[in-house]
């Protein structure tokens, strides 16, 4: 064995590599044998669905939006649930996961980014986990808030036994109660681990390759409904990198973001609070900045347009942007007023909310109309002829 070969072998994270490569293989072989012999039971599908949701949402709602970004606060019961079922997802402890993730946000697309997409799709998806490069020195200096939490420290110290017990022993015990212990291990353990692993990994790979960049064009992260459907709503990644502390990923009413809906549901029953939400005004400002960059790039590419025509285009954009910003400012004001009224106590709370909600609906309609005008004007400026005079 040469020194080079020995060095390469030492770089491999053997435990993680064997686990990540063996679980799909075991799922395929054992799954085919089990299903052909025993079929698919309703109880197995039920425990599979529960474990997919429990572990998947513990990563997206817990590890990601709560622990890594502090997008909301939650009760200790919810936090412990995240710690237990997050470990069962077999994606390392909260400290390890969040430390890597915060470095990803700080150094996105650079060498210090653990799952840097510029090193290739495979690297960002799973390759970075197969080597020890990023784990040579365990450094949690970027997560001091999490290190200070005794529950998180306990999970880190006992991560592997918690993961094994919650991920495989508990499904075995549940299955034994209904006479299907190994079927439950297969479905709630092996199948589920593979599915949730690659759902999470797609956020690091696919979310940096397909979709749009409406909020920040300087980075690879993109918004895509396709990725959102595959990742519990984590596919609006450009928005997330621009506004990481917002509890939402998909801000549109029709956006597929079940993680956001779960956080709202927890708030409704008193288990979550202080949901952080970026004002509409700031979101619109980011979109306008990106549109302005696109327009500047188009103007730089076009030859033969007079200075007068270019000035006219810029003036139209500025006029449109001002109109949209006014609508966004009005909507932000109405949203704040409704949020404050909801926190008030007293008999007249409903009476105060009623007119405010009517004003909020009107502000949303105006914002929607402003967006329609915005997109129409933008399409004309980006795609239409530029060599025109202001009077044409």
pLDDT of residue 308: 80
pLDDT of residue 305: 65
Q: Residue 346 — very low, low, confident or very high, per pLDDT cuts 50/70/90?
A: low
What pTM did the predictor assign?
0.91
Mapped onto helix, strand or coil, the DSSP state of residue 131 is: strand
Q: Where are the domains of the chain?
A: 3-273, 280-383
Name residues whose C-beta falls within 8 Å of residue 77's C-beta, 6 or more positions apart in sequence.
Answer: 271
Cα 131 versus chain centre, distance: 24
**Percent of the chain residues topping a pLDDT of 90:** 77
What is the DSSP code string of 316-345? HHHHHHHHHHHHHHHHHHHHHHHHHHHH--
pLDDT tens-digit map of 349-390: 777 788 888 999 999 999 999 989 998 988 888 887 765 444
Q: What is the arithmetic mean of pLDDT over 148-166?
A: 97
Dist. CA 231–CA 64, nearest whole Å: 12
pLDDT tens-digit map of 257-300: 999 999 999 999 999 999 999 999 999 999 999 999 998 888 88
pLDDT tens-digit map of 214-252: 999 999 999 999 999 999 999 999 999 999 999 999 998
Asked if 210 and 223 count as a contact pair (C-beta separation under 8 A), the reply is no
Dist. CA 261–CA 97, nearest whole Å: 23
pLDDT tens-digit map of 162-192: 999 999 999 999 999 999 999 999 999 999 9
Task: Identify each DSSP E strand in 233-384 by its residue range.
Answer: 272-273
| Among candidate residues 168, 169, 162, 201, the one with its CA nearest the CA of residue 83 | 162
Residue scoring higher pLDDT (92 or 313): 92
Structure tokens of 112? 């210090």
Name residues whose C-beta falls within 8 Å of residue 206's C-beta, 6 or more positions apart in sequence.
Answer: 125, 224, 226, 227, 230, 235
pLDDT of residue 341: 83
Among all chains, which residue has been given the structure tokens 């064995």? 1
Residue scoring higher pLDDT (208 or 351): 208
């Amino acid at each position: 064995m040469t020194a080079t070969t020995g060095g390469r072998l030492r770089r491999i994270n053997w435990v993680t590599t064997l686990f990540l490569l063996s679980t799909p293989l075991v799922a395929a072989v054992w799954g085919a044998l089990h299903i052909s012999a025993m079929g698919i039971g309703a109880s197995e599908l039920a425990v599979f669905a529960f474990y997919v949701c429990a572990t998947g949402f513990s990563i997206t709602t817990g590890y990601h939006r709560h622990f890594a970004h502090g997008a909301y606060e939650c009760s200790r019961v919810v936090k412990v649930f995240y710690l237990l079922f997050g470990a069962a997802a077999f994606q390392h402890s909260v400290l390890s996961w969040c430390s890597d993730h915060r470095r990803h946000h700080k150094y996105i697309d650079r060498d210090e980014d653990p799952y840097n997409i510029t090193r290739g799709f495979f690297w960002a998806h799973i390759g970075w986990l197969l080597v020890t490069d990023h784990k040579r020195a365990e450094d949690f200096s970027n997560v001091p808030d999490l290190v200070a939490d005794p529950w998180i420290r306990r999970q880190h110290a006992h991560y592997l036994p918690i993961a094994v017990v919650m991920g495989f022993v508990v499904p075995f015990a549940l299955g034994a109660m209904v006479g299907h212990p190994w079927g439950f291990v297969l479905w709630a353990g092996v199948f589920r681990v593979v599915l949730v692993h690659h759902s999470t990994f797609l956020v690091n790979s696919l979310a940096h390759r397909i979709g749009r960049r409406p909020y920040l064009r300087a980075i690879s992260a993109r918004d895509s409904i396709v990725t959102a459907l595959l990742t519990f709503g984590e596919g609006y990644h450009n928005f997330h990198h621009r506004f990481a502390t917002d509890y939402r990923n998909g801000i549109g009413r029709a956006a597929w973001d079940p993680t956001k809906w779960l956080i709202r549901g927890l708030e409704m029953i008193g288990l979550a609070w202080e949901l952080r939400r970026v004002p509409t005004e700031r979101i619109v400002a980011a979109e306008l900045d990106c549109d302005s960059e696109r327009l500047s790039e188009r103007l730089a590419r076009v030859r033969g347009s007079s200075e007068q025509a270019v000035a006219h285009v810029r003036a139209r954009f500025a006029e449109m942007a001002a109109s949209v910003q006014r609508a966004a400012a009005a909507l932000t004001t109405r949203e704040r007023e409704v949020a404050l009224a909801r926190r008030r106590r007293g008999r007249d709370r409903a009476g105060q909310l009623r007119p405010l909600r009517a004003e909020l609906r009107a502000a949303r309609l105006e914002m929607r109309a402003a967006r329609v005008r915005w997109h129409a004007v933008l399409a004309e400026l980006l795609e239409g002829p530029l060599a025109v005079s202001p009077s044409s």
